[in-house]
Amino acid sequence: MTERAVQISTPDQDVVTRAAHALERVIDPELGLDVVRLGLVYDMRQRDGRLEVDMTLTTPGCPVSEQLPREAEEALAAALPELDVELRVVWDPPWTPARLSPEAMELLGFHPR
């Protein structure tokens, strides 16, 4: 698995696929890209009727530090109404541009070495 890939901790691909599609509609207003392509989603797992999602932000002082997680949680709740959603903002490991998808790297002008 590449560093950029979202780690999936559940065999229920349907739920994960629906969750990933929902998160692709959550756009970072500063960068104009979704949280999945930005590599901000670290893990998704389904447990006991609940979807747990670990995501991060580009920096702890991110200007959208309250808005983006709230939008992500709302998108997940709308896409998966049968599940309780628990979204956790995590800082370990710290986000780096290496987590960007290839498309995001190109759009943001990063050139992998």
Condensed to tens digits (0 to 9), the pLDDT of residues 62-99 reads 888 999 999 999 999 999 999 999 999 999 999 999 99
| Least confidently predicted of 9-23, 46-60, 90-104 | 9-23
Per the prediction, the chain carries an average pLDDT of 87
Domains delineated in the chain: 7-103 (3.30.300.130)
CA pair distance 51, 29, nearest whole angstrom: 25
Task: Please state, in angstroms and as integers, the Cα–Cα distance from residue 50 to each residue in 7, 10, 26, 34, 94, following that order.
Answer: 17, 12, 20, 23, 25
Q: Is the pLDDT of residue 10 over 90?
A: no
